[in-house]
């Protein structure tokens, strides 16, 4: 695996979250979140289920609305303004736990749809880009199949390629390997590591601690809707400060 230190992090701010709060009805899911992500940073968010980590990254591209505080992505603040939301969404790629490929379209059509309709790229050019990224995730031969004909690992790699076709500046990963069989996790992680090496700004919600140690420059631990601890990976795993973090780490690394 690659060395995290090799990868460049710039001073430019990619995402700035300040004093953000979110409620589901009466339930306070995200509490006073403050977080800055620099361009080129690779952040891993972990924590027990229900801790709000998925909700947090879904707020970054407005799949979820926040009620208080400020989220600025690439200089654009997320408000109810639909134009801003569409702008942010076309800059931010997202990979889901359950892939969410479009089952009625071929792999190639899945990849070219958004570039053609959102970015107004000519069809020929969009297909060339799509093939380029399919080569990159190592499944160009599947281009004309339908998602249902692919294995879970292949589908997730297609989903990553689909996001990359929009040439995003930031990638969000929402538990990308949680729905996969163990033998397919590696192929997806390898793709993500490759992406990290190329300097993509990434926020990954994942339980793959090996991945965190290899590529993250920061690990964030969340519990009960709050950021409990964040640190660079070596310190985070070897020398956790809070009791909650210690308990969590002992539970997931303990066996």
User: Which lies closer to other proteins via its Cβ, residue 53 or residue 218?
Assistant: 53
Determine the size of the site formed for other proteins (CB under 8 A): 27
Which residues pair with residue 42 across a beta bridge?
A: 202
Q: Residues 33, 55, 96, 108: which binds other proteins (CB under 8 A)?
A: 96
User: Which lies closer to other proteins via its Cβ, residue 45 or residue 114?
Assistant: 114
Q: Residues 14, 20, 71, 114: which binds other proteins (CB under 8 A)?
A: 114
User: Which lies closer to other proteins via its Cβ, residue 4 or residue 107?
Assistant: 107
User: Which lies closer to other proteins via its Cβ, residue 16 or residue 90?
Assistant: 90
Q: If binding is defined by CB under 8 A, does position 23 make contact with other proteins?
A: no
Q: If binding is defined by CB under 8 A, does position 9 make contact with other proteins?
A: no
Q: If binding is defined by CB under 8 A, does position 104 make contact with other proteins?
A: yes
User: Which lies closer to other proteins via its Cβ, residue 95 or residue 216?
Assistant: 95
Q: Residues 12, 18, 67, 102: which binds other proteins (CB under 8 A)?
A: 102
User: Which lies closer to other proteins via its Cβ, residue 4 or residue 111?
Assistant: 111
Contact set for other proteins, span 159-188 (CB under 8 A): 162-163, 166
Contact partners, residue 49, CB within 8 Å, separation at least 6 = none
Binding string, residues 38-77; x marks residues near other proteins by CB under 8 A: -----------------------x-x--------------
Q: What is the 3-state secondary structure (H, E, C) of the chain?
A: CCCHHHCCCCCCEEEEEEEEEEEECCEEEEEEEEEEEECCCEEEEECCCCCCHHHHHHHHCCCCCCCEEEEEECCEECCCCHHHHHHHHHHEEEECCCCCCCCCCCHHHHHHHHHHHCCCCCHHHHHHHHHHHHHHCCCHHHCCCCHHHCCHHHHHHHHHHHHHCCCCCEEEEECCCCCCCHHHHHHHHHHHHHHHHCCCEEEEECCCHHHHHHHCCEEEEEECCEEEEEECHHHHHHCCCCHHHHHHHHHHHCC
Interface residue list for other proteins (CB under 8 A): 61, 63, 82, 86, 89-90, 92-94, 96, 98-104, 113-114, 117-118, 146, 148-149, 162-163, 166
């Amino acid at each position: 695996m690659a060395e995290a230190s090799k990868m460049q992090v710039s001073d430019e701010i990619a995402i700035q979250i300040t004093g953000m709060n979110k409620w589901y009805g009466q339930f306070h899911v995200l509490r006073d979140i403050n977080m800055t992500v620099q361009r080129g940073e690779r952040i891993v968010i972990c924590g027990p289920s229900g801790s709000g980590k998925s909700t947090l990254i879904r707020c970054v591209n407005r799949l979820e609305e926040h009620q208080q505080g400020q989220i600025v992505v690439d200089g654009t603040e997320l408000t109810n303004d639909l134009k801003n939301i569409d702008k942010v969404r076309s800059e931010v790629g997202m990979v889901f736990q359950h892939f969410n490929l479009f089952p009625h379209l071929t792999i190639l059509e899945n990849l070219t749809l958004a570039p053609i309709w959102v970015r107004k790229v000519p069809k020929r050019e969009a297909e060339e880009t799509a093939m380029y990224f399919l080569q990159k995730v190592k499944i160009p031969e599947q281009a004309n199949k339908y998602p249902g004909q692919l294995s879970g690992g292949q589908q997730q790699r297609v989903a990553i390629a689909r996001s990359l076709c929009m040439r995003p500046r930031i990638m969000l990963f929402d538990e990308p390997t949680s729905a996969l069989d163990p033998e397919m996790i590696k192929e997806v992680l390898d793709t993500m590591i490759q992406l990290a090496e190329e300097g993509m700004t990434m926020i990954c919600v994942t339980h793959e601690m090996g991945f965190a140690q290899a590529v993250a420059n920061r690990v964030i631990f969340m519990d009960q809707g709050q950021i409990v601890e964040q640190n660079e990976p070596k310190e985070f795993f070897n020398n956790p400060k809070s009791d909650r973090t210690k308990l969590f780490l002992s539970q997931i690394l303990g066996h």
